[in-house]
Amino acid sequence: MMSAVIGAIALAGLAGPAARAQTDEIQVYDATINEPGQFSVELHNNYTPIGRLQPDFPGGVIPNHALNGVPEWAYGVTDWLELGTYLPLYTLTNSGQFELDGAKLRALFVVPRAKEQEFFYGINFELSFNAQHWEQTRNSGEIRPILGTHLGPWDLIVNPIFDTAFDGAHRLDFAPAERVAYNLSELWAVAIEYYAAYGYISGFSPLNRQNQTGFVVIDYNGEPNSVEFGIGHGFTAASDALVLKLMITHQF
């Protein structure tokens, strides 16, 4: 009996904060939004050519050779508010099976005309409705503050993200994202991005259970179409060795 209790406690510890190797969106928010009345769609896709062979939890998506994606539909309400929805989230698994993962709603509040500001800021709120193979909780949320500065051709941006399963403030999962970009012109930029999932704010996970991934990114910021492509490498055992991301945006 005692050994069974110890085993259950150990499994509960292993099923702590997810490593976040599987996600539909790999992006650092820069506080830019659609103009009032403008509608856009952004197609997110990320593929893991070399990834972990085990899911984050029993029945979850295996990262290796999985393609995850979602169309993000967004509408500019005012010069400081954009509303959006992610629908449908999907995965093409390493066995070739197509799975629907859920949907999300979001509200993004920003300083007006962020591109023109030397210092810019905002905050994004998301509510997710998850399939059981995507996340262990049916409903989850994200709070994403946005802080950044434009220094000549350089952009420095931080998103100190907090994820929640609505099970208490002490179980907020700290998953920051950062970006340093150099704008080659009005249309082209190159950047280095960093994404992490450290664990609950009440106590970070051991290093071998933290996700830490760096990306080299190139952006084309045209109108009405823009493209972002990145190549990422994980630095911990809970990260994937090689991840590719592609975002294509069309403004209507």
What is the C-alpha separation between 168 and 232, in angstroms, rounded?
Answer: 32
Mean pLDDT of 162-183: 96
Which pLDDT value is given to residue 12? Answer: 35
Which run of H or E residues covers position 127? strand 119-130
Q: What angle do CA 209, 138, 205 make, to 5 degrees?
A: 15
Q: What is the DSSP letter of 206?
A: P
- Count of alpha carbons within 13 angstroms of residue 193, beta-carbon side: 25
- The pair of three-digit structure tokens given for residue 225, joined into one six-digit string: 């179409």
Question: What is the average pLDDT score of the chain?
Answer: 92
Report the percent of the chain where pLDDT is more than 90.
90
Residue 158 to residue 138: CA distance in whole angstroms: 28
Amino acid at 183: N
Average pLDDT over residues 173-196: 98
> What are 108's two structure tokens?
């993004």
Predicted confidence at residue 22, as pLDDT, reads 67
Q: Residue 201 — left, alpha, or beta (φ > 0 → left; ψ -120 to 50 → alpha)?
A: alpha
| DSSP labels, 64-110 | TT-EEEEEEEEEE-SSSEEEEEEEEEEEE-TTS-EEEEEEEEEEEEE
Q: What percent of the chain has pLDDT over 70?
A: 91
Which pLDDT score is estimated for 250?
Answer: 98
Give pTM, 2 decimals.
0.89
pLDDT at 225 over 50: yes
The predicted-structure confidence for 108-146, as pLDDT tens digits, reads as follows 999 999 999 999 999 999 999 999 999 999 999 999 999
Angle made by CA atoms 233, 146, 27, in degrees to the nearest 5: 30
- Would you state the pLDDT for residue 44? 98
Average pLDDT over residues 172-186: 97
CATH numbers and ranges of domains, the chain: 2-251 (2.40.160.40)
Who's near 18: CB < 8 A, 6+ residues apart?
56, 57, 135, 136, 173, 197
pLDDT tens digit sequence for 35-86: 999 999 999 999 999 999 999 999 999 999 999 999 999 999 999 999 999 9
Q: State yes or no: pLDDT of 18 exceeds 60.
A: no
203: confidence class by pLDDT, cuts 50, 70, 90: very high
Q: Mean pLDDT lowest for which of 8-12, 14-18, 48-52, 210-214?
A: 8-12
Buried b (16+ CB within 10 A) or exposed e, 98-122: eeebbbbebebbbeeebeeeeebeb
SS3 content of the chain, % helix, strand, coil (to 5): 10, 55, 40
